[in-house]
Chain A
Amino acid sequence: MPRTTAIATRELSKTYKDVKALDNVTLDLEPDRIYGLLGRNGAGKTTLMSILTGQNYADQGTAEIFGHAPFEHDPTLSRICFIRESQKYPDDFKVHQAFESAALFFENWDDDLAQELVEAFALPIKRRIKKLSRGQLSAVGVIIGMASRADITFFDEPYLGLDAVARQIFYDRLVEDFAEYPRTIVLSSHLIDEVANLLEHVIVIDKGQIVIDSDAEELRGTAVTVTGDTAKVQEFIGTAQVLHRDALGALASVTIKANLDADQREQAKLMGLDLSPVSLQQLVVRSALSGSTAQRTEERTEARK
């Protein structure tokens, strides 16, 4: 029996005034996997997540969650949790009141987990949310996202303002909890390396378009950096697609799109060339975002009202 897709979009488009926030986005996300939604600031990540969670709506195309459009559909919405990076809370709410509220609406809410995380993040639960620091505010969102145990959970730049220790706690606890309670997790981030190890599948969005939609493992093998004597490097890479080129005197370091087999690796070794793996971040930056210029990014603003 084929498994139902958790998230399916077809030719989704959304325009804010003259800015195309989403441009013909077609995606299929399987249930019970961890997805990374990567891209620069203003690439369309938050807009996409807002539409998938019924908080916003598309101009064109369709978005379905477990086969149903989420917009204004409570039974579907109740399976989703999305705390946005700039989430607003009622002015007079204290931290614990936000959790009480979440406990009302998320059927799988785990209060013990929430308590554990509060301690792990050293969050002052009796403080008013508007008095929290940026990092503490992120922690509130992370705790609601984790403890809700919703079938589909979105984390929107969850690490903002969190210190290194807190970020590690988040990543560790997420993996732990995911192992015990598998669900679909979408992690949006512009800090790619930091979340790279968590991700099973990578979606890269740039200027509202999907530029990479690939299994993380597959993606890691698709590029390699060749370093050595310029002439030899050139000879070795031949006609392979060059993603990036650095030169220093007679030395060259060229990143190519290629999946090398054992013979080719042996040959590189014989030619005195160094082969190094390309990190996910480099790969994304080199291949997907190489076309963006600073000027074009300035024109784009993500809707974060």
Chain B
Amino acid sequence: MNRVIKVARMQLINKGTFIGIPLIILGASFLFTLAIWWLVRRNGGDGAMYGGGAQAPMWYFLALGIQSLTLTFPFSMAMSISRRTFYLGTVALFSVCALALSVFYYLMGLLEVATDGWGMGGQFFALQWIADNNWLVQILFYFVLMVLLFMIGFLAATIYMRWRTTGMVAFFICLGVLVLGIIALFTFTNFWDEFWSWALTWTAAGVTLWGGIVALLMAGGSYLTLRKATA
């Protein structure tokens, strides 16, 4: 059996980490949202209701990106796996999980619309801004968002594995300087109004495209960083 697949199987030895926990987070946030909607309706609230709980598992992927590297990478070295194989297996496994969950989101969105917002006029999976697009864009949107968060965690963790604390400190100082620089630039050139009106024109497809490009860049960056990391 291919060693890349074996890496995925190793990551899945504890099924909770990649599959169980995201499903529990999603299920819990969904049930909480339903309960809140029900309370709102009982107390005579009307109009459309939105719930942002669908993003809950996505934040877990940020932690998963860090965890699957810092905890499993040193062990994978002991299993005599090359860094390349470890990287491919881990990223491939996450991609498959993210794709499955994205399709699940899309299907739940269809169900949500069909049941008139779970009988309560609520929007949890089929948020208007996303649900207005065709099926492919919807699925890709969720997928890219999940991969993006995973990759942020993964890249940060590879930087840590390779350069340890020094790398982390340098990375966050650079990031801080960059963000502050952009804010300063926008402030001095009175660009904020323009920026926000531009941000409002973003479409789900556009966010998917740019998010995908950023995720790819980070994937490449973390691969190059990992190639010389030590356990």
Contacts and interface: CB of A to CB of B under 8 A. Distances in A.
A150 B67 CA distance: 29
Interface string A145-178: 0000010000000000000000000000000000
Nearest to A97: B13
Interface stretch (A76-84, A244-252, A285-293): A76-84
Nearest to A96: B13
B9 A55 contact: no
Interface residues of A, number: 36
B79 A55 contact: no
A72 B9 CA distance: 20
B75 A90 contact: yes
Contact of B227 (A55, A72, A78, A150): A72
Interface residues of B, number: 27
Given A92-B16, A92-B17, A305-B231, A53 B10 contact: no
Given A55-B231, A88-B74, A74 B6 contact: no
B48 interface: no
Contact of B3 (A50, A74, A81, A98): A74
Contacts of A181: none
A88 B71 contact: yes
A79 B74 CA distance: 18
Given A87-B74, A90-B71, A93-B14, A74 B81 contact: yes
A74 B85 contact: yes
Contact of A88 (B9, B75, B79, B83): B75
Interface in B1-19: 3, 6, 9-10, 13-14, 16-17
Interface in B61-75: 67, 71-72, 74-75
A101 B74 contact: no
B190 interface: no
A88 B164 CA distance: 16
Contacts, number: 81
Given A50-B230, A101-B13, A305-B164, A89 B80 contact: no
A54 interface: yes
A80 B80 contact: yes
B75 A89 contact: yes
A150 B78 CA distance: 12
A92 B80 contact: no
A126 interface: no
Contacts of A84: 78, 231
A77 B14 contact: no
Nearest to B164: A305
Given A55-B231, A89-B75, A90-B75, A104 B6 contact: yes
A66 interface: no
Contacts of B227: 72
B130 to A, nearest CB: 33
Interface string A204-244: 00000000000000000000000000000000000000000
B170 interface: no
A35 interface: no
Interface string A61-74: 00000000000111
Contact of A90 (B3, B72, B83, B85): B72
B164 A77 contact: no
B71 A72 contact: no
A264 interface: no
A144 to B, nearest CB: 8
A102 B3 contact: no
B228 interface: yes
A150 B80 contact: yes
A101 B228 CA distance: 23
B41 interface: no
A92 B78 CA distance: 17
Interface of A: 50, 53-57, 72-74, 77-84, 87-93, 97-98, 100-102, 104-106, 144, 150, 303, 305
30 contacts: A53-B77, A54-B82, A55-B231, A57-B228, A72-B82, A74-B82, A74-B85, A77-B81, A79-B80, A81-B78, A82-B80, A84-B231, A87-B74, A87-B75, A88-B74, A90-B14, A90-B71, A90-B72, A92-B71, A93-B13, A93-B75, A97-B14, A101-B13, A101-B79, A102-B79, A105-B3, A106-B79, A303-B230, A305-B164, A305-B230
A-B complex: 7 closest residue pairs judged by Cβ atoms: A88-B74, A77-B80, A90-B71, A105-B79, A72-B82, A104-B6, A55-B77
Given A77-B82, A84-B78, 12 more contacts: A53-B77, A72-B82, A72-B84, A74-B81, A77-B80, A80-B80, A87-B75, A97-B14, A101-B13, A105-B10, A106-B79, A150-B80
Interface of B: 3, 6, 9-10, 13-14, 16-17, 67, 71-72, 74-75, 77-85, 164, 227-228, 230-231
